[in-house]
Chains A and B, each alone.
Chain A
Amino acid sequence: QQQVKQSPQSLIVQKGGISIINCAYENTAFDYFPWYQQFPGKGPALLIAIRPDVSEKKEGRFTISFNKSAKQFSLHIMDSQPGDSATYFCAASFNSGGYQKVTFGTGTKLQVIP
């Protein structure tokens, strides 16, 4: 089964702290690893993504760390802000007959407290 395991389920971080969300996958065919951010009542939106040929990607306060040998990747949110409070989903995908099959993690609800 092409699972993506995400932890923790929920996370409370103080303003200015670092939020870390972890994901692990099994299928070595995955070749694209996006993170989505979802606010209540809204659809998920792509936050940042990485391919397995790099070990880290940074965009502003958001960084993906990727460990190919361990089949793990994580999202780090530096200087976390109350506006970052949302649910975060990791995902992994691979090409399946021209269609990119995406498997999502179960989500992490982040709360950043002032």
Chain B
Amino acid sequence: DAGITQSPRHKVTETGTPVTLRCHQTENHRYMYWYRQDPGHGLRLIHYSYGVKDTDKGEVSDGYSVSRSKTEDFLLTLESATSSQTSVYFCAISSTGGTYEQYFGPGTRLTVT
């Protein structure tokens, strides 16, 4: 998975609790992304980062925040988890602005009960 790790790989949490997912890369790529994958929806972009401390919203950003304090780490926080945020979350990286290849991590399966 192109030097990308995600943690945790699986998590079960209760409605209303905050959750933070971590993406770590060893490729020194500039761009990092968080997607969620749901049946019938494919992959949808939550947030992306184009550099340290530089982030922007994707198409499904409500209820999520991100931070990037180092090139290698991109954190996704669910401020107050809801059942609709039960999903598989993928981190991706690219060396350019999303053109050509995005490399995906192994995913985090999150269940909100």
Q: Is B96 an interface residue (CB 8 A)?
A: yes
Bound together, the chains give a CA A98 to CA B99 distance in angstroms of: 10
Q: Is A102 an interface residue (CB 8 A)?
A: yes
Establish whether residues A42 and B43, one from each chain, have CB atoms under 8 Å apart when the complex forms: no
Q: Which of B92, B100, B102, B103 has the most CB of A within 10 A?
A: B102
Bound together, the chains give a CA A102 to CA B43 distance in angstroms of: 10
Task: Work out how many contacts link A and B, with CB atoms closer than 8 A.
Answer: 59
Q: A89-B42, A89-B43, A107-B42 are in contact. Are A102 and B98 (CB under 8 A)?
A: yes
Q: A41-B106, A43-B104 are in contact. Are A98 and B40 (CB under 8 A)?
A: no
Main SS of the interface on chain A?
Answer: strand
Task: Determine how close the nearest CB of chain B comes to the CB of A101; give it in whole angstroms.
Answer: 7
Point out the residue from B1, B56, B103 that lies within 8 Å of A42, measured CB to CB: B1
Q: Is A14 an interface residue (CB 8 A)?
A: no
Interfacial residues, chain B to chain A (CB-CB below 8 A): 1, 4, 31, 40-45, 48, 50, 56, 90, 92, 94, 96-107
